[in-house]
Amino acid sequence: MIRLKHTRFYFGILFTLTVMLFLSLGGGLWGAEQSIGHWTGALFQNVCHQNPERSFLFAGVPMAVNSRCFGVFAGLLAGWILIPAITRLTSKTQWTLRLIILAVLVQIIDYSGNLFQVWQNTNLTRATLGLFLGMSASLAVFKLFKPEN
């Protein structure tokens, strides 16, 4: 049995993140020919630049978000799912701050390397680094759910 503080809040956010990730798959999920201009694309237009060239395809259609945003959303969900286990393993929060700082620094390095043509990042590397950032962000709040002993 999961023992968490603020259980309803935890499961509400878990549901919301699951729906958000599902909808980010875009128009291909609904049989549309594109995501930009589709209602799923409109949901994310204010949080993602939605460049089709930087998006994974789902059912042959670019997703409603680019690969980095999809990675962040997937990481938020994955990290959120890990919160119950983390609350049982540790009560120290300093490592989560270090983890999030590392995740942000890696994003900056990746962006800069691509910008200055030191390397070419790909959709897979963008998604992987986004996953790391999203997981770090979710895990940073684990202490809110740790039950008092």
Annotate 109-118 with b (16+ C-beta within 10 A) or e (fewer). ebeeeeeeee
Provide the pLDDT for residue 96. Answer: 86
State pTM to two decimals: 0.91
The string of pLDDT tens digits covering residues 105-118 is: 999 999 999 999 99
Closest CA to 129 of 68, 79, 82: 68
Mean pLDDT of 78-97: 85
* Nearest CA-CA partner of 44 in 60, 27, 59: 27
Q: pLDDT exceeding 90 applies to what percent of the chain?
A: 76
Residue among 109, 128, 127, 130 nearest 119 (CA)? 109
pLDDT above 70 as % of the chain: 97
How many Å apart are CA 141 and CA 4, to the nearest integer? 13
